[in-house]
Amino acid sequence: MPAGSYTVESQTTSDVEAHERADFWSEHIGAYHSRMGFRYTRPDSFHGETIRQLTGAYQLVRYSSDEVEYSRTPRQVRHDPDEDYRLLLPVRGEIVLRQDGQEARLTPGTGALVTFGAPFLCHQGADIEAFILTIPACEVDGPLNRKSPVATGFDLTRGLGRIVHSMLNDLHEERDHLTDPQFNAVSDRIVELVCMLTVGDDRPDAPGHLGEVEAMVRRYVREHASDAGLTGTSMAHALGWSLRQIQLALQRAGTTPRDLIREERLRLVRDRLQCAECEHLTITDLAHASGFSSASTLSTAFRQRYGVSPREMRYRSR
């Protein structure tokens, strides 16, 4: 899938003969996930539907199906590597997820983060409906500065969890009215909140005010990323906190003021490279308009973050 090509597509097993539906589902799901095993309770009468949204960065699928068990063996992990994460949120029914010695029993109102980089077993009960968001590993491992725990249950009924659930649902409901940069921007924010949830689960005794400081700092950085003079010190002065408070809040999330500013500027450049209204801007123009001191500084950081140069991403988007 070329970068910059937002796509929405739907599939249903109702379009094929009943005796072919299990095979159809295995091929369909396998086409946009890594190699897995499938075990059906009733293969001759299986029913499933998917609505899939994807870009070169993210994929969101809302699906419903009859009972099925998915598995990923050590051999499949070795022969078909995939380090990316899946955020799994049931809307109806129950999902039991086992990975790395942990088990998460998911029902509506709970969610889990699972990696395809390790074996797992995922049993989905009858009449299941759920969201599954594919997240590049760098979007989770980088901000957390470590591998995320897997099979972790998130509470989606209150606080940040409820916001994550609402944003995913809205992203799905507005699927026919989004552009590539818009879909990626919302997905970025969802992942950012999921990382905050993960840290919160991992460190329950951290002072609550640090979470509030982190949220305010992230919002401030998003709004002022293009300011070339933005630093941790300038943020502290503008927000009325000490630099030490900001550093502690971001350290809790596995990042620093400098890294957070750079990350937000790189996302800003990426979105502008994929925006038709910004095609008249040169790479140097984009660098200066996004807070970078030069085009070379931008290009080096951009390639380290996304694996391609700004010009290559613009070309792919076209």
Q: Are residues 140 and 33 in the same domain?
A: yes
Q: Are residues 75 and 224 in the same domain?
A: no
Question: What is residue 1's predicted lDDT score, i.e. its pLDDT?
Answer: 37
Claim to verify: residue 60 and residue 165 sit in the same structural domain: yes
Instruction: Look at residue 59 and tell me if it is in a domain.
Output: yes
Q: Is the residue at 110 inside a domain?
A: yes
| 124 and 218 part of one domain | no
Query: CATH no. for residue 296?
Result: 1.10.10.60
* Residue range 49-68, pLDDT digits in tens: 999 999 988 999 999 999 99
Q: What pLDDT was estimated at residue 139?
A: 80
Query: Do 88 and 225 belong together in one domain?
Result: no
- Provide the domain count of the chain: 2
Q: Is the dihedral of CA 31, 73, 83, 121 positive or negative?
A: positive
| Residue 306 resides in a domain | yes
Q: Are residues 53 and 172 in the same domain?
A: yes
Residue that terminates a domain, selected from 169, 202, 235: 202
Six-digit token string for 316:
């792919």
Q: Is 310 exposed, middle or buried (0-12, 13-18, 19+ CB in 10 A)?
A: buried
User: Are 57 and 167 in the same domain?
Assistant: yes
Question: Contact at 8 Å (CB) between 315 and 274?
Answer: no
pTM comes to 0.68
Whether 101 maps to a domain, the answer reads: yes
Among the candidates 202, 234, 265, a domain finishes at 202
Give me the CATH number covering residue 89: 2.60.120.10
Q: Is 41 in the same domain as 190?
A: yes
In the beta sheet, which residues pair with residue 95? Answer: 106, 124
- Residue 2 maps to a domain: no
Are residues 184 and 214 both part of a single domain? no
Task: Specify the pLDDT at position 206.
Answer: 43
How does 252-284 read in b/e, with b if 16+ C-beta sit within 10 Å? Answer: bbbbebeebbbbbbbbbbbbbbbbeebeebebe
Please report whether residue 88 resides in a domain.
yes
Low-confidence ranges of the chain (pLDDT < 50): 1-3, 145-146, 148-149, 201-207
Q: What is the pLDDT of residue 176?
A: 95
Q: What secondary structure does DSSP assign to 3-71, as a single string?
A: TT--EEEEEEGGGS-GGGHHHHHHHHHHHHS-S-EEEESSGGG--EEEEEEE-SS-EEEEEEESSEEEE
Residue 1 lies inside a defined structural domain of this protein: no
pLDDT tens-digit profile of 95-124?
999 888 888 889 999 998 888 888 999 999
The reply to whether 53 and 186 lie within a common domain is: yes
Q: Do 74 and 89 fall within a single domain?
A: yes
Domain's final residue, options 147, 179, 202: 202
What range defines the domain where residue 287 resides? 208-317
What is the structure's pLDDT at 203?
38
pLDDT attached to residue 67: 95
DSSP the chain: --TT--EEEEEEGGGS-GGGHHHHHHHHHHHHS-S-EEEESSGGG--EEEEEEE-SS-EEEEEEESSEEEEE-HHHHHHS----EEEEEEEES-EEEEETTEEEEE-TTEEEEEETTS-EEEEE-TTEEEEEEEE-HHHHHHHHTSPPPSS--EE-SSHHHHHHHHHHHHHHHTGGG--HHHHHHHHHHHHHHHHHHHHHHH-TTS-HHHHHHHHHHHHHHHHHTT-TT--HHHHHHHHT--HHHHHHHHHHTT--HHHHHHHHHHHHHHHHHT-GGGTTS-HHHHHHHTT-S-HHHHHHHHHHHHSS-HHHHHHHH-
- Are both 39 and 187 inside the same structural domain? yes
- The confidence score (pLDDT) of residue 253 equals 78
Q: Strand 59-65 vs strand 37-40: parallel, antiparallel, or unpaired?
A: unpaired
